[in-house]
Chains A and B, each alone.
Chain A
Amino acid sequence: MAREEQRIDRDAGPVVRPYALTGGRTRPTGETIDLLALVASSEADTVGSMFLEPEYLEVMRQCRQPKSVADLASDLDLPLGVIRILLSDMREQGLIAIRQPARTRLTDPRILKDVADALRRL
């Protein structure tokens, strides 16, 4: 059994099958969380956090600096749908704040010129 276990890192607990993690749900509640939404941990409540799921603690650890949902899913090696459910639960509990990116198409040529210049320097 131990051979089957996957771990986020040495200090974290084993990662269980994704859909057990979400209690069998496949859809998050509330507003859809964009792929590029930024997630930031709320102020750590050290007493309260002792009772949190290890995955919640790992998300909070990873998001001390705001991190995108895509980065988070990739770094935690969890499918996007699963991380979205975790995040919507955590948001409901006030453990994290989520900031959605602008959903309109980028139309400011100055920003695009900055991007082109940065790419040329690669």
Chain B
Amino acid sequence: MPSAGFDTDLDPAGPVSIKILVAGGFGAGKTTLVSAVSEIKPLRTEEALSEASMMVDTLDGVEQKTTTTVAMDFGRITVRDDLVLYLFGTPGQHRFWFMWDELALGALGAVVMADTRRLADSFPSVDYFERRGLPFVVAVNCFDGARRFDPEDVRTALDLDSGVPIVLCDARHRSSSRDVLVTLVEHAIQLIGDHEVMSPS
């Protein structure tokens, strides 16, 4: 091992890093939510162009280009010196799922941003987190002038399990976005509790 690096004597466990995913369709407010609660930085990754994405990306004049970069919204909230929360805003389309698989690994949970004008855009995200068994909440971003929806109508439209919290929010406001994250963390705590009740160790 190289010298120095980590002082394992002082800090055997190391800091705890917590991941939360913020998913949803284009324009649903992912970037807005992440930037409302944290200092946001762009993070680039690469993707090998598949046939599906070839149809989306304009490749005129970019011959032989085989990868494209994908920008994620990346935010960090330092809870304590030894506890850091990372937020990753990820595009919702199926072709970005290669990124989600990595992001979902060990994640605390996810926020699915829903735009009531385009609820169907949230389907892939909801479907993905349901299948992964990852705790998630649905945040309905209430834009100015957007029709206010009854959360239960959204639940029906998205065919959500009764246990999945639905929060109406305005992602532009820090307190509102914060409440979405608090709801997610409380939901995750609840699920851990339920699991312990069902399978006592």
Contacting residues, chain A, for B46 (C-beta < 8 A) = 26, 79-82
Identity of the chain B residue whose Cβ is nearest the Cβ of A40 in the assembled complex: B5
Contact A112 B189 (CB under 8 A): yes
Asked if B16 CB lies within 8 Å of chain A CBs, one says yes
Interface residues of A in 77-122 (CB under 8 A from B): 77-82, 94-97, 99, 101-107, 109, 111-116, 118-120, 122
Contact B15 A38 (CB under 8 A): yes
The digit string for B12-46, where 1 denotes a CB below 8 A from any CB of A, is 00111111000000000000000001000111111
Q: Give the number of residue pairs across the A-B interface with Cβ within 8 Å.
A: 126
Contacting residues, chain B, for A75 (C-beta < 8 A) = 41
Asked if B79 CB lies within 8 Å of chain A CBs, one says yes
Contact B4 A40 (CB under 8 A): yes
A79 to B45, CA, bound (A): 5
Asked if A74 CB lies within 8 Å of chain B CBs, one says yes
Q: Name A118's contact: one of B44, B77, B174 (CB within 8 Å).
A: B77
B73 → chain A, closest Cβ, in Å?
10
Contact A43 B3 (CB under 8 A): yes
Can you give 26 contacting A-B residue pairs, CB < 8 Å?
A: A36-B86, A38-B14, A41-B4, A41-B5, A43-B2, A68-B84, A70-B74, A70-B86, A73-B43, A77-B44, A79-B69, A96-B2, A99-B5, A101-B14, A101-B17, A102-B106, A103-B106, A105-B108, A106-B18, A111-B16, A112-B188, A112-B189, A115-B85, A118-B79, A119-B37, A119-B182
A residues apposed to B, CB below 8 Å: 26, 35-36, 38, 40-43, 66, 68, 70-71, 73-75, 77-82, 94-97, 99, 101-107, 109, 111-116, 118-120, 122
Q: Closest 3 CB pairs between A and B?
A: A97-B5, A42-B2, A118-B79
